[in-house]
Amino acid sequence: MRTLIQDCVAGIPPVVETAARQEGLNPRDMARAVARGHVVIPANPRRPHRICAIGEDCRVKINVNIGTSGDRCDPELERQKGMAAIAQGTDTLMDLSTGGDIRAIREMILSLDIPVGTVPIYEAVRKAGNAGDVDADLLFSVIREHCRDGVDFLTLHCGVNREALAALHSDPRILPVVSRGGAFHVAMMAHSGQENPLFAEFDYLLEILAEYDVVVSLGDGMRPGCLQDADRHAKTVEYLNLGRLAQRALSAGIQRMIEGPGHIPLDQVGYNIRVIKELSNDAPLYLLGPLVTDIAPGYDHVVATIGGAVAAMHGADFLCMVSPSEHLSLPDVSDIIEGTRVARVAAHVGDTARKKEGYKMPRERQMAEARRNLDWAEQFRLSLFPDVAKKIHARDSSGDTCSMCGDLCAVKMMRELFESGKKK
């Protein structure tokens, strides 16, 4: 079977036609971007579902993480969270389940009409009992099962290798490793005394991914877990490794994204994005956050929106939702709704800065005109969240203005002044 990249070298596959139409782009240009590795379309051929393209010239996409934990395992809650995220406009879901019947939960999430990603090391650790007992055979068999089940993209921490570990030891951090997958791989290497099998046997991994045409998201296991660790060496060593692995994946016809960078001070966001893009030859970049302060638990979704918008402006293509419960608890449905909404704001703000038409896009202009015309129905129609806007306006709306300035409405005053001026 040929992979999508190989099909794009030969022509324009139907999935690319569809994705290009959604983005308002030329299908030929998109096929070239996929072939060059600048765009990915996570669409496992085993599972038909709606698709989206991620990368160069595309609208910034968002992902929502759902899934059980060992402490809270309620598959029905996870189904509701998935449905809520889809209703709020997420582009993809990731199933991060680590509790209960992980395969059954995955199958339930895969029944939803949306691209789905997973992190196979989580299930491998549950199967083995602990991270130190996961070996290469188990990990590759779990990866193959996820591909066979229809998962569209896999986060695989291939860059957490001995070199990155040496950097972690020689340039210590306050929080050594905060990525769950990264920590599992460090434990595996510490236990076996050997190299990370995903790095050592990367060519074999690519063979599995090619067989099922699944996208690899090269995980950022060494992402900083606090602002104080943002300039330590381990993440930079991992960036270099991920850049090299990204090139090898592309040469093998495998679609790949890069993940990064975690907790980063606001003034370092642009620099980090540009370095990753340069090292990976402009591979699509997938971010959790970045979180640009560590002292706002409960509002980390807002913190991530600030970081995500700036990151998108500098070239990040895919933003992972951060919910209000980040660092505090497994999200519930309301956390998912709020987190998805603010992630959409970050993605849209990024688009206003990086898309070709940018802030001149029709929807932004139409909203300005609707505000000038005090046309509330049109303002609600154009809003990212019409239900919220309508509800707040309805609290004490009267007449054609709102209660913010009431009879001293500046917009109304200027309209009357300018319109009477025009008549004269």
Q: Pick the closer one to ligand SF4 by CB: 333 or 402.
A: 402
Min dist CB 385 to ligand SF4, Å, is 18
Contact range with ligand SF4 by CB under 6 A, out of 77-85, 220-228, 266-274, 396-404? 396-404
Over the window 66 to 85, marking each residue x when it contacts ligand SF4 by CB under 6 A and - when it does not, the resulting string is --------------------
Q: Pick the closer one to ligand SF4 by CB: 329 or 397.
A: 397
Min dist CB 407 to ligand SF4, Å, is 9
Helix axes 120-128, 180-192, angle to 10 degrees: 50
Q: What is the DSSP letter of 408?
A: G
**Distance between CA 194 and CA 185 in Å, rounded?**
11
User: Which of residues 405, 416, 417, 418 is near ligand SF4 by CB under 6 A?
Assistant: 405
Q: How many CB atoms lie within 10 A of CB 410?
A: 10
Contact range with ligand SF4 by CB under 6 A, out of 145-153, 240-248, 276-284, 403-411? 403-411
Nearest to 219 by CA among 279, 288, 268: 288
**Distance between CA 104 and CA 169 in Å, rounded?**
39
Contact range with ligand SF4 by CB under 6 A, out of 88-96, 184-192, 383-391, 406-414? 406-414
- CB contact set of 143 (below 8 Å; sequence gap of 6+): 120, 154, 156, 205, 208
Helices of type H across 88-201: 102-110, 120-128, 136-149, 162-170, 180-192, 197-200
Is residue 414 near ligand SF4 by the rule CB under 6 A?
no
DSSP, collapsed to helix, strand or coil, labels residue 54 as strand
Contact range with ligand SF4 by CB under 6 A, out of 12-20, 27-35, 98-106, 408-416? 408-416
Contact range with ligand SF4 by CB under 6 A, out of 47-55, 72-80, 142-150, 405-413? 405-413
Asked if 138 and 212 touch (Cβ cutoff 8 Å), the reply is: no
Contact range with ligand SF4 by CB under 6 A, out of 133-141, 213-221, 349-357, 409-417? 409-417
Asked if 230 and 293 touch (Cβ cutoff 8 Å), the reply is: no
DSSP, collapsed to helix, strand or coil, labels residue 418 as helix
Is residue 401 near ligand SF4 by the rule CB under 6 A?
yes
Over the window 168 to 207, marking each residue x when it contacts ligand SF4 by CB under 6 A and - when it does not, the resulting string is ----------------------------------------
Min dist CB 74 to ligand SF4, Å, is 43
DSSP, collapsed to helix, strand or coil, labels residue 180 as helix
Min dist CB 376 to ligand SF4, Å, is 9
Q: Pick the closer one to ligand SF4 by CB: 111 or 403.
A: 403
Nearest to 131 by CA among 190, 194, 188: 188
- Please return the burial class of 332, using the count of CB atoms within 10 Å of its CB with bins 0-12, 13-18 and 19+: middle
- Please return the burial class of 153, using the count of CB atoms within 10 Å of its CB with bins 0-12, 13-18 and 19+: buried
Is residue 411 near ligand SF4 by the rule CB under 6 A?
yes
Is residue 409 near ligand SF4 by the rule CB under 6 A?
yes
Q: What are phi and psi of 287, to 5 degrees?
A: -125, 145
Is residue 104 near ligand SF4 by the rule CB under 6 A?
no
Is residue 404 near ligand SF4 by the rule CB under 6 A?
yes
Q: Where does this chain bind ligand SF4 (CB under 6 A)?
A: 401-402, 404-405, 409-411
